[in-house]
Chain A
Amino acid sequence: KQEVTQIPAALSVPEGENLVLNCSFTDSAIYNLQWFRQDPGKGLTSLLLIQSSQREQTSGRLNASLDKSSGRSTLYIAASQPGDSATYLCAALVYGGATNKLIFGTGTLLAVQP
């Protein structure tokens, strides 16, 4: 059974810092790995999606990497801003029988201090 874990559970940094969020998954047989952002009481916003054949994806100040063999993904945020404060979730797309399904990590609560 696929398990997805994120470290750290919470992170507080001053504005302008570069930071790395970590995601680990136990089964390397994934189709892709996605990173989402969730603001308090809200739904999910997709940030980046890395296919299993890819190593990384970039969007603006965000860069996500994927190492399937070691079961790890990282989300790098450059020059953090207070507006980046949110919970960040990674999710692995796995085979689910009749249909594939997303298995979510435990999340990292990020606070960027102005």
Chain B
Amino acid sequence: GAVVSQHPSWVICKSGTSVKIECRSLDFQATTMFWYRQFPKQSLMLMATSNEGSKATYEQGVEKDKFLINHASLTLSTLTVTSAHPEDSSFYICSARGRGTGPPGGYTFGSGTRLTVV
């Protein structure tokens, strides 16, 4: 079945530094990727949607200059948290949908990245 690999699984960084999270589709072409954020004991909140080769579409309230998303190829999307601050600490999960993968409308999720900014 479709597999999405997300790295790193956890990262600790100092306030003011930038962190990059990678999301790779291993056995299919991910035409669309989604990035979610999840606070403790809360549900997933969609941050942005990216189509391969296009600029990402950000949800209302999400700072595009803070959360840089690149979807340069059909198998890789990256989320860069720039100038991270403690309030950016969260669980970030990517999701991908590709051509001919899974049931119609089905999405495959990465295993998530726990970001802690100190």
Enumerate chain A interface residues (CB-CB to B < 8 A): 31-32, 34, 36, 41-46, 49, 51, 89, 91, 93, 96-107, 109
The reply to whether A31 and B105 contact each other, CB–CB distance below 8 Å, is: yes
- Give the nearest-CB partner of A36 in chain B: B109
0 or 1 for each of B72-114: is its CB under 8 Å from A? (1 = yes) = 0000000000000000000101010000000111111111101
User: B-side binding surface: helix, strand, loop or mixed?
Assistant: strand
- Give the nearest-CB partner of B46 in chain A: A101
The reply to whether A89 and B49 contact each other, CB–CB distance below 8 Å, is: no
Is B67 located at the chain interface by the 8 A CB criterion?
A: no
Chain A residue numbers with a CB within 8 Å of B46 are 101-104
What is the bound-complex CA distance between A46 and B102, given in angstroms?
Answer: 11
7 A–B pairs (Cβ distance < 8 Å), ordered by A:
A34-B105, A36-B109, A51-B105, A97-B57, A99-B32, A99-B57, A106-B43
Which residues of chain B from 31 to 71 have any CB-CB distance to chain A below 8 Å in the complex? 32, 34, 36, 41-46, 49, 51, 57
- Give the nearest-CB partner of B33 in chain A: A99
The reply to whether B43 and A46 contact each other, CB–CB distance below 8 Å, is: no
User: A-side binding surface: helix, strand, loop or mixed?
Assistant: strand
The reply to whether A42 and B44 contact each other, CB–CB distance below 8 Å, is: no
The reply to whether B49 and A99 contact each other, CB–CB distance below 8 Å, is: yes
What is the bound-complex CA distance between A9 and B93, given in angstroms?
Answer: 21
The 8 closest A-B pairs by CB, nearest first: A43-B111, A44-B109, A104-B44, A32-B105, A43-B112, A104-B43, A43-B109, A106-B43
What is the bound-complex CA distance between A106 and B45, given in angstroms?
Answer: 10
Is B29 located at the chain interface by the 8 A CB criterion?
A: no
Is B6 located at the chain interface by the 8 A CB criterion?
A: yes
Contact of B93 among A32, A43, A103, A106 (CB under 8 A): A43
Q: A98-B49, A105-B43 are in contact. Are A49 and B112 (CB under 8 A)?
A: no
The reply to whether A42 and B111 contact each other, CB–CB distance below 8 Å, is: yes
Chain B residue numbers with a CB within 8 Å of A103 are 46
Chain B residue numbers with a CB within 8 Å of A42 are 111-112
